[in-house]
Amino acid sequence: HLAPPFTEECRTGMYPPKGPTFKGAVTWYTVDLNLPPSKRWAAVISDKKAELVAMIQVIRDLANAFVPSGKLIDIVDKDLPLLVDTLPYPFNEEIRGIAAVSGVPLGEVVLFNIFYEVFTV
Amino acid sequence: CTSVVAEDSKGSLFHARNLDFGLFMGWDVKNKTWIVTEKLRPLVVNVDFRRNNQTVFKSTNFAGYVGMLTGIRPHVFTLTMNERFSLDGGYIGILEWILGQRDGMWMSFLTRSVLENATSYEEAKKLLSQTKLLAPAYFILGGNQTGQGCVITRSRTLSLDIWELDHSLGRWYVLETNYDHWKEPLFVDDRRTPAMKCMNQTTQANISPKTLYDVLSTKPVLNKLTTYTTLMDVSTGLLEAYLRDCPDPCSPW
């Protein structure tokens, strides 16, 4: 029973969420699609800037652990910004806006946004 | 990830998911947690996408990520996406993109486009099954009418399978983790069997967003990679999301 995957009896009565498996409610934001793409995420990113920077830092640390010379992050910072020009509108402009508001290098915001394609192997 | 679309005895459709992410991306030995998963949780937000002051769609998202993994077009359809691993993975699609072959779509941009533009379950199904992608994926789609629910298994170029609700076969729910539904899951990562056991135990008569939360709270469906649980009801337009934790004893994936 304790060997992975640990399996338990079907839970009941968990709702409304509470207890040790509930870590909090999720905050609501509005994104106005009438705004220019570069402005749409400004409120979200202003609120979550510190958390975004912390998450990106973890990815930097992981990348530097794999390639201690720092060359992998150099490639992300120097080459991935070139990719943003090829991404479809309005996603490219939204990504630029997020980088501008958060102060996170553009290449690292691009990497976060293409994580899925990178990690499907 | 675990996604499920279920229809109750009255024909109402509910859609729920656990978003699991961060496998092998740094293990915190002291706290017994995945480092990236822990950093992703504070980034989870619900977003109401509005045009002309009216809701177009709603989603559970990571701040800074412009694509969609979980969303609802109220009264029309619900959509989640689960990761599908393959040697013919997204890195090949990225390489092709860099080399100038740009006829494929980035997965999360497609889901966002579908939520933003598709105006029916059938249109969403067509776009998700026929658009060329950069990476393989599972799309889990729910509609607003009886029998409208499916799992679309995608390779980068093809729709490999569309697995639908089917009353004639007694299939009142479709449930997807991260394995093709016609194959056995990896034996050390079988979240499908416990999830289906709990769905069957719940029964169609008692299925609701609340009981789906119970199913998604059962370990190992809930595991150390689970960042959030989202519950959706297409008929009311409800989207609720909750941050999750999985204290020991708990499966690492």
DSSP state of B105: B
How far does the CA of residue A80 sit from the closest CA of chain B (Å)?
A: 10
Told to judge if B1 belongs to the known catalytic residues of this protein, a careful annotator would answer yes
Within 10 Å of residue B232's Cβ, how many Cβ atoms? 29
Q: What is the DSSP letter of A43?
A: H
CA B73/CA B229 separation, integer angstroms: 18
Residue of A nearest to B91 (CA): A118
A66 Cα to chain B: minimum distance (Å): 11
State the residue for tokens 């994580």: A115
Chain B nearest-CA distance from A79, in A, is: 11
- Let me know: does B73 contact B115? Beta carbons within 8 Å: yes
Per-residue pLDDT tens over the stretch B3-22 = 999 999 999 999 999 999 98
Instruction: Give yes or no for a contact between B111 and B81, defined as CB atoms under 8 angstroms apart.
Output: yes
Q: Is pLDDT of A93 > 60?
A: yes
Per-residue pLDDT reduced to its tens digit, B206-241: 999 999 999 999 999 999 999 999 999 999 999 999
Q: What ipTM goes with this model?
A: 0.95
Which of A17, A55, A115 is the closest to B213 by Cβ? A17
C-alpha B17/C-alpha A51 separation (Å) is 23
Q: What is the pLDDT of residues A47-63, one digit of tens each?
A: 999 999 999 999 889 88
| Nearest residue of B to residue A120, measured between CA atoms | B85
pLDDT in tens, B46-55: 999 999 999 9
Query: Can you read off the two tokens belonging to residue A39?
Result: 């402005």
What is the pLDDT confidence band of residue A1, given thresholds at 50, 70 and 90? very low
CA atoms of B53 and B178, how far apart (whole Å): 37
Contacts of B86 in chain A (CB under 8 A): 120-121
For residue B219, which residues of chain A lie inside 8 Å, CB to CB?
5-8
The answer to whether the CB of B170 falls within 8 A of the CB of B200 is no
